[in-house]
Amino acid sequence: MNELNFTKGAYKIALSNAKLMPGEKVLIVSDYKMEKIAKRMAVASDSCGGETCIIFMPPREWDCQEPPECVAKAMLESDVIFTPVSVSIAWTKAIINARKNGARVLLMTAFTDAIFESKALLNTDFDECSIICDNLAKYYERAQTVHLTTPGGTDFYFQIGGEKVNKVNSVIESGELGSSPNIEINVVPLENTSRGTLIVDGSIPYLDIGVLKDPITVKVNEGFITEIEEKTDAAKILAENLRSFNNANVYNIAEFGIGLNPNANLCGIMLEDEGVLGTIHIGIGTSVALGGKTEAPIHYDLIIKDVSVELDGKLIQHNRKLFI
């Protein structure tokens, strides 16, 4: 019975999210740890009429590490790409170049059986949610300043000033990227404008941290993290990992994202956590794939709950309520 549910989820991703059409060239890029997920997606792709191939590669050593050159070349020849990998390749040049070549990319980093059965996937009308994405994006496109607060003590400010708003509605067209069941919009803050305090109390779905038991305090000034208070094990793991790169750009405030999936819940898995309605995430590290200018060896998202967001001094969101 579970396998039937898994099949339903895989088929929905192929048909509803990727909009896979008969005869399209489909590439599944995976690693050895994700074999069963890759095979499940291959069956779903084949049932939609896709000309489907799977490439397995060794798991990447860190997030954003490029796939092997032969994989990157195969991606350039594909109409649709699914990426069931254990370590993210989302912000790699290989993905960027495949999208420029017209590929539709569906990220499936650390995908699990549970996601195939989740309400966030099976119960969500992605086409309907894409309308909300479009409407909310228009407000951010016109805004100049963003002010974020939470009951936990977050007080954070940055400027956007007409920066491109990225819509991740997971209903993807040529050259677009989705990450079902994630639904979000995101924007790159203007360089050197981010400042304030972030109380990260939701999740860090990287480095095996997951859902947070205790909040982490992060201080930001002039666009970069200046301090991570190492009072918890999770905070120490994050701080030590960032120090290990010996690269100042890993501390860059790269992204402000707003979760918009009403059926998602924090579970420690990136693809669901980032889309939880009522949360935002602050991306750190590289911003190039999102339209920014900063390159870094990593991109991690810090997820914060119970948010209030003001655009140019006007309340646009309070927890799960959007004023649009």
Tell me the fold of 2-117: Thermophilic metalloprotease-like (3.40.1830)
List, for residues 226-257, the tens digit of each pLDDT value: 999 999 999 999 999 999 999 999 999 999 99
CA 217 to chain centre: 22
Q: What mean pLDDT, rounded, does the chain reach?
A: 95
Q: What residue ranges do the domains of the chain occupy?
A: 2-117, 123-322
310 phi, psi to nearest 5 deg: -110, 135
**Strands ordered across the beta sheet of 224-228:** 224-228, 216-221, 195-200, 155-159, 145-149, 308-311, 314-318, 321-322
Tokens 């967001």 correspond to 309
Distance CA 91, CA 270 (A): 14
Distance CA 130, CA 11 (A): 19
Per-residue buried b or exposed e for 70-84, using 16+ beta carbons within 10 Å of the residue's own CB:
ebbebbeebbbbbbb
Of 2-16, 227-241, 252-266, 274-288, the range with the lowest mean pLDDT is: 2-16
- For residue 90, what pLDDT is reported? 86
315 phi, psi to nearest 5 deg: -65, 125
Rounded to two decimals, the pTM is 0.87
Decide if 233 contacts 251 (C-beta within 8 A): no
CB atoms closer than 10 angstroms to residue 131: 11
Q: Which two tokens stand for residue 198?
A: 């972030």
At 113, is the pLDDT very low, low, confident or very high (cuts 50, 70, 90)? very high
At 3, is the pLDDT very low, low, confident or very high (cuts 50, 70, 90)? confident
pLDDT over 80 (residue 31): yes
Bridge partners for 313 per DSSP = none
List, for residues 34-80, the tens digit of each pLDDT value: 999 999 999 999 999 999 999 999 999 888 889 999 999 999 999 99
- For residue 1, what pLDDT is reported? 53
Give, for 255, the enclosing helix (H) or strand (E): strand 253-259
At 6, is the pLDDT very low, low, confident or very high (cuts 50, 70, 90)? confident
Decide if 76 contacts 60 (C-beta within 8 A): no
Decide if 25 contacts 77 (C-beta within 8 A): yes
List, for residues 133-165, the tens digit of each pLDDT value: 999 999 999 999 999 999 999 999 999 987 789
Segment 204-208 mean pLDDT: 93
